[in-house]
Amino acid sequence: MRCAVFGATGYIGGRLVPELVQAGHQVRVVARTPVKLAEVPWRDRVEVVRGDVTSDDDVRAAMVGQEVIYYLVHSLTRRDFADIDQRAARIVGAAARAAGVRRIVYLGGIIPEQTPLSRHLASRAEVGVILRESGVPTVELRAAVIIGSGSASFEMLRYLSERLPAMVAPRWVHNRIQPIAVRDVLYYLVRAAELPPDVNRSFDIGGPDVLTYSTMIRKYAAVAGLPRRMVLPVPVLTPWLSAQWVNVVTPVPRALAVPLIESLVHEVVCHDHDISAYIPEHDGGPTSYEKAVELALARIRNVEVPTRWSDASTVGTPSDPLPSDPEWSGGSLYEDFRERRTHAGPDTLWAVIESIGGENGWYSFPLAWSLRGWIDRVSGGVGLRRGRKDPHRLHPGEALDWWRVELIDRPRLLRLRAEMRVPGLAWLELGVEPEPGGGARYRQRAVFQPHGLAGHFYWKALTPFHDVVFGGMVRNIIGTAERAPATGTRAGGAD
């Protein structure tokens, strides 16, 4: 069938697309920023179109000629996410009906019987209602915690389990949860396209195990080979306080941790298994919790994580390219430019540049970078702990600590856009130019577009430290390249 996927740059969408292709469907991918898909392995097997779900024109154009629509878009990190998601759902539903789409498939969350719901779960439920009432047969698959390498829920569980041998936890750690492996979610999503046209309803989907969150932590520790973890529940930790703790201990930022934890306050267990009457279980049956954890950890160890929660852009960050002149930003554009020649070859220098960040660090005053990361985390930003998927290779649109890879022109230019909390917009460019007589020239450019008086003050206050931070980066990147073997081998390890 002809399928359009909205949200293909997100965690589930990025894994669903190749599954649909493998199942023989013709896939159109709708992305607000198509460049983020430039290097995904399935790019040449799908049609990619630009589209924003809040734009009527974009959505109508994306629907033309399609039979099945997968809607996998959420705006969790914005305060007004409920309004945005409902508006987008109405636009998608109306456009699908006008285009003669045969089916909509939507992934939502299990709705607990208790009321009132968290804002996150209430919004998910409302989107499902809007799509089912659109006039287009809709299947809403409702899942609780998704266990898979790179999912926000799994990363939160993993870091809490690995970093804290004992923890004081809120009472909700004793609430029951029915987690599901990401492979099972994808199986149901793919098969949902084939359901008969009279099916217009929601289905709860879950794994075979019903556990408490504290049991999930202990079982994770057992699978990961960690000592037994102690979880001590106390009544004084509210969801908001719990989210602050998650923000400090894990890479999941507070803006995302709050809605996730608000949902865990409820018991999220499947109310039925009606899906089995329409979609048979796959070979081997549903994946157990321990098996799902084992598979996720294997992918992490083998650096085979195709998508991560951080792949989705942080809402509110710029999607425009780097401004090239002061006129673009209204006359105010600060710049720190440095360059230096090295006898290291261009390939060797580029290998160092592309390996920057994550466990490899930023080649300059680690304490200052760490402190700035903590300040960003405390203020509700993403901080430095998002890391990177691969220690040596980057891709457009990928999260890299508090940066986003905006452009990579291998082996010439890497452009990063800041997603930390600053009073303005910031970019960092790292470039390589071969020298005619051998060696290479390293170019480094930091650009800042201030917002208001606070932005101007921010840049001027940090200017005295630029030689330490930016100058140190130049010296250490050049030094690392000159010490590396001149064979094109990447710094930090072989390809």
Q: Which residue has tokens 């499902």?
A: 128
317, HSE (Cβ side, Cα atoms, 13 Å)? 26
Tokens 């809709």 map to which residue? 138
Q: Residue 476 contacts by C-beta under 8 Å, 6 or more apart in sequence?
A: 363, 364
Say whether 54 sits in a helix, a strand or coil: coil
Alpha carbon distance 30, 95 (integer Å): 14
Q: Which two tokens stand for residue 384?
A: 């430095």
pLDDT at 58: 93
> Quick one: which of 36, 11, 98, 37 has its CA closest to 62?
98
Q: What is the pLDDT of residue 20?
A: 96
- Adjacency order of strands within the sheet including 68-71: 47-50, 26-31, 2-6, 68-71, 103-109, 138-143, 201-204
Burial class (CB in 10 A: 0-12, 13-18, 19+), 218: middle
- Nearest Cα to 442, choosing from 336, 340, 335, 337? 340
Residues 166, 169, 172, 177, CA torsion sign? negative
Which residues have C-beta within 8 Å of that of residue 202, sequence separation ≥ 6? 108, 128, 132, 139, 140, 141, 142
pLDDT along the chain (495 residues), means of 10: 92 92 95 83 92 91 95 74 88 95 94 76 89 95 90 84 79 86 95 93 94 90 88 69 68 68 78 91 89 89 68 45 40 82 93 89 77 68 72 85 86 89 87 91 90 84 88 92 67 34
Q: What is the pLDDT of residue 241?
A: 67
Beta strands in 149-229 (DSSP E): 166-170, 176-177, 180-181, 201-204, 211-212
Q: Say whether 369 sits in a helix, a strand or coil.
A: helix
Q: Is 53 strand, coil or helix?
A: coil
Enumerate residues 6+ apart whose C-beta is below 8 A from 69. Answer: 3, 4, 6, 63, 92, 96, 101, 103, 104, 105, 136
**Hey, which residues does 131 pair with through a beta bridge?**
none
Q: 472: closest CA among 384, 365, 370?
A: 365
What does the DSSP 8-state code read for residue 133? T
Please count the other Cβ atoms lying within 10 Å of the Cβ belonging to residue 307.
Answer: 24
Q: What b/e readout covers 121-134, taking b as 16+ CB neighbours within 10 angstroms? A: bbbbbbbbebbbeb
The Cα 315–Cα 76 span in angstroms is 9
pTM of the model: 0.73
Q: What are the two backbone dihedrals, phi and then psi, of residue 206, each rounded to the nearest 5 degrees? A: -160, 170
